[in-house]
Amino acid sequence: MSTTTQNLTDTPDEPRRIVIVNAGTSDPSSSRMLADRIAQKTIDQLRAQGIPASVRLIDLGPLAGEIAHAIVSGFPQGALLDAVHQLAAADGVIVATPVYKAGMSGLLKSFVDVLDNDLLIAKPLVLSATAGTARHALVIDDQLRSLFAFMRSLTTPTSVFAAPEDWADPALLGRIERAANELSAMIATGISAAITGKVWDKYQHSFGSNARPDGAAAEFNFDTDLMRLATGGSSVAAHS
């Protein structure tokens, strides 16, 4: 089982894990290409600071069947569960989606739908999208930002959108570098661990979440009104 507790200060020499979630399904996929470039720049910037980093790729296309089953059954399994564990262990995430019908890929939304609500809390995350026209440029800010706000992720201030003409525009590289800078800064400062280390209990968690799979009894928060009620306490006192 993968370790999921992020504690960057305790393990300074562990390579930082950057995970790409690619919803593009063509080969080659321009969404994938965009995510790869952001990942490479992020690694470069981390290494420049003496921080080793590695990249893992979650391609959603091959997981499409598993994602559909998980939507219906409620339980991610097999390779999809492996992907969930990779995300749980990620120090930074790059999400890349094509724009379909003026929106994010349904495959990406379905994937996020089956994640535990607390899986991406305080996780540094770059939003990126590709589209056939620049008129879809607001899909990231309209749709992806609100989705990952619900997930309580730390989305970088810069998102990266690429329409066909952008691939010939040096300004795209500028935005990629800016987003990579923001992501690497978040990873390097360990802000995620600083947040979750202090207030993890204050978020809503469901038992057995993949965010902290080994945390069943050891990390469990017993200091709640419901736990007091479970152990013979009075709800009258607890609610007054």
Partner 1 sequence: MQFGIFAVSDITQDPTTGYTPSEAERIDASVKIAVKAEEVGLDVFAMGEHHNAPFFSSSPVTLLAHIAALTHRIILSTSTTLITTNDPVRIAEEYAMAQHLAKGRLDITLGRGNTVPVYPWFGKDIRQGLPLALENYNLLHRLWSEDVVDWEGTFRTPLQGFTSTPRPLDDVAPFVWHGSIRTPEIAEQAAYYGNGFFANNLFAPNGHFKPLVDFYRKRFAHYGHGTEEQAIVGLGGQAFIAHRSQDAFDAYRPYFNSAPVYDHSISLEQWAEASPLSVGSPQQIIDKTLEFRDVFGDYQRQLWLMDHAGLPLGMVLDQLELLGSEVVPVLRKEMAARRSPGAADAPTHESLVRAKYGDAEPRQPRPNANRGDNVTGTSPYQDSDPERPANYPVLL
Question: For partner 1, which is the closer residue by CB, 173 or 227?
Answer: 227
- Of 62, 173, 208, 219, the one binding partner 1 (CB under 8 A) is 208
The contact pattern for partner 1, residues 151-170, with x = CB under 8 A and - = no contact, is --------------------
Nearest partner of 187 among 2, 4, 1, 9, judged by Cα: 9
In whole angstroms, how close is the CB of 185 to partner 1 at the nearest point? 36
Task: Classify burial at 48, counting beta carbons within 10 Å of its beta carbon; exposed 0-12, middle 13-18, buried 19 or more.
Answer: exposed
**Cβ closest to partner 1, residue 149 vs residue 216:** 216
By CB under 8 A, is residue 100 in contact with partner 1?
A: no
**Separation of alpha carbons 111 and 93, rounded Å:** 14
- Give the Å distances, CA to CA, from 210 to 25, 149, 173: 26, 19, 35
Instruction: Report d(CA 59, CA 218) in Å as an integer.
Output: 34
Residue 116: count of CB within 10 angstroms of its CB: 20
Q: Which of 170, 204, 217, 223 is in the footprint of partner 1 by CB under 8 A?
A: 217
Asked if 160 and 128 count as a contact pair (C-beta separation under 8 A), the reply is: yes
Closest to partner 1 by CB, 27 or 223:
223
Which amino acid, one-letter code, is at 160? V
Tell me the three state secondary structure of residue 4: coil
Cα dihedral 150, 156, 157, 160 sign: negative
Does 206 engage in binding with partner 1 (CB under 8 A)? yes
Instruction: Provide the minimum distance between the beta carbon of 233 and partner 1 in the complex, in angstroms, as a whole number.
Output: 8
Number of residues that bind partner 1 (CB under 8 A): 27
Is residue 207 near partner 1 by the rule CB under 8 A?
A: yes
Contact call for residue 226 and partner 1 (CB under 8 A): yes
Site string (109-148) toward partner 1, x via CB under 8 A:
----------------------------------------
Alpha carbon 210 to chain centroid distance? 13
Ramachandran region, residue 121 (left: φ > 0; alpha: ψ -120 to 50; beta: rest): beta
Question: Quick check: 11 binds partner 1 (CB under 8 A)?
Answer: no
Site string for partner 1, 65-94 (x = CB under 8 A): ---xx--xxxx-x-----------------
* Interacting span for partner 1 (CB under 8 A) from 30-38, 125-133, 174-182, 219-227: 219-227
Q: Give me the residues that bind partner 1 (CB under 8 A), please.
A: 68-69, 72-75, 77, 206-208, 213, 216-217, 220, 222, 225-227, 229-236, 239
